[in-house]
Amino acid sequence: MAQRLSKKKQPRREERVLKEQVKVEEGVFNTRTMLTLRRLFSHAIISSLDFIISSGKEADVYMATAGTKVDAEFVIVKIFRVETSSFLKRNVYITGDPRFGKIKGSIYHLVNEWCKKEYGNLRIASRIGANVPKPYYFHGNIIAMEFIGTDGTPSKRLKDVRLANPKETLDEILRQIKLLYSASLVHSDISEYNILMKDNKPYLIDFGQAVVLGHPESLNFLRRDISNIVNYFFKKYGIVYDSDQLVSEITFEK
């Protein structure tokens, strides 16, 4: 007859939950990621990892049920892929940022710095009242943040909706860009893919590449952000704005 495991040999509750909850269709989590996920459970940031929302070259985004330390029903868990070469192309957003020193050659270190950078950028943006997901926790290659959605359904991206008042939305996006700039932060990747619409309000997401004004390319990144969003609204809604004038107005007031 099989003997019962002693209490010492029984797996911890977090480990059992992970084995039950963490199922990946296109691969499996490596050991480092599993250990980092366990921190989210032990710190009561999440109580379960429920299902994947999106999968990209750099990161997978999961829906999770919030733990007791988070005053919300759901949490977004963003897991950056460690075994990917695409981060090497993103080094330009870290190199030159005065907040970071010399990046070590290890891809693990680069990804961890990227995660740390997104968390820090979200903290700055959240602190000044920008429409962004509130950051809850980060460690290694994982960041936990506020869920943007309604009744458990994630909000749609800007590109996937037809706006009733597109000019108002564009003006609000430009106001958000200006607000970030007033805090010496440039998103650096504004597009219809990185904006969620909730209750007719735009929320900016994906802040890993955001830089401070001390970065040598910050002004060029700002110009690109403005140009991208203005061109999108022109093509889809026929709204005409002068990108150069908008950049001048934002930088002049700073």
Last residue of a domain, one of 105, 129, 146: 146
Query: In which residue are the tokens 């110009």 written?
Result: 223
Summarize the confidence of residues 242-253 as an average pLDDT: 93
- Residue with more model confidence, 1 or 103: 103
Give me the number of domains the chain comprises.
2
Residue 106 is predicted with a pLDDT of: 73
Is the per-residue pLDDT at 160 higher than 90?
A: yes
Is the per-residue pLDDT at 2 higher than 80?
A: no
Backbone phi, then psi, for 162, in 5-degree steps?
A: -110, 115
Q: Is 50 a catalytic residue?
A: no
The three-class DSSP label of residue 175 is helix
18 and 142 part of one domain = yes
Last residue of a domain, one of 88, 116, 146: 146
Dihedral of CA 50/86/219/216: which sign? positive
Candidate list 50, 71, 151, 189, residue with the active-site label: 189
pLDDT band for position 27 (cuts 50, 70, 90): very low
Q: Write out the residue range of the structural domain in which residue 50 sits.
A: 13-146
44 and 85 part of one domain = yes
Candidate list 60, 206, 242, 244, residue with the active-site label: 206
Strands (E), the chain: 46-55, 59-66, 74-80, 135-139, 142-146, 149-150, 153-154, 156-157, 185-186, 195-198, 201-204, 211-212
Q: Is 60 a catalytic residue?
A: no
Which of 219, 217, 214, 239 has its CA nearest to residue 229?
Answer: 239
Tens digits of per-residue pLDDT, 45-97?
999 999 999 988 888 999 999 999 999 999 999 998 876 556 666 777 877 78
Average pLDDT, the chain: 87
Residue 12 is predicted with a pLDDT of: 57
Tens digits of per-residue pLDDT, 98-126?
777 666 667 788 888 889 999 999 999 99
